[in-house]
Amino acid sequence: MFSFLEMKDSFYQKKCLLCLPKVYLAFKNSPSNLKKHIERKHVHHLKKYGELAANTLKRKHAPETHSTIKQSTLLKTVSQKFIDKAVVKYVVQGLQPFAVVEQEPFREFVQDLQPNSKIISRPTLRSRIGEASTEMKKKVTEAMRGVDHIATTTDCWSARRRSFIGVTAHWIDPVSLNRCSAALACKRLRGSHTFDVP
């Protein structure tokens, strides 16, 4: 019967759906204003309002059943393969060192999320990232092979007192007409990155 609009301090702003567009205020813990409005303006809807209010109160104070408690404590189980992929993604996209998988806080973090999981070793992580890199190169090469024109951009930047140079390729997908980009190279630059870099 009432549509919630917004909350202001300890008041709810509600709109009566029976006499739009009037707006009424009701205390957060005491909606007596709304009941008075129904009694005065829509007395034939008073019984329905009483039923709706009682149902809302019942839901609010209903004790948690065993099933709802159980449901809230259930853990989502995921496969070891899924965890390994997630760790690889975290290391690659977060630019983390391979040694992160050997750090105790990280291992505890994964164990807390999925108690029966195993953390991949540093050599396995390196191998998986190598495989992912090879697969990505194949995909990029295949995508670029199907276009007539490719533009490249070069950028230099510094991070932690080190300079880098990167090359990115850009093209338009001939089927979807979406703009596509791929990083082709990134290399450390020795010295300051000015116009006369050798």
| Boundaries of every domain in the chain | 2-61, 80-135, 148-198
Given a cut of 60, is residue 67 above it in pLDDT? no
Q: What percentage of the chain has pLDDT greater than the value 70?
A: 66
30-37 long-range contacts, Cβ below 8 Å, gap at least 24?
34/2
Q: Please state whether beta strands 179-189 and 162-172 pair in parallel, antiparallel, or not at all (unpaired).
A: antiparallel
Range among 11-15, 21-25, 55-59, 145-149 with highest mean pLDDT value: 145-149
129-136 long-range contacts, Cβ below 8 Å, gap at least 24?
129/88, 129/91, 129/92, 132/88, 132/92
Given a cut of 60, is residue 59 above it in pLDDT? no
The 10s digit of each residue's pLDDT in 86-124 is 999 999 999 899 999 999 999 999 888 888 889 999 999
Q: Which of 2, 58, 55, 60 is nearest to 33 (CA)?
A: 2
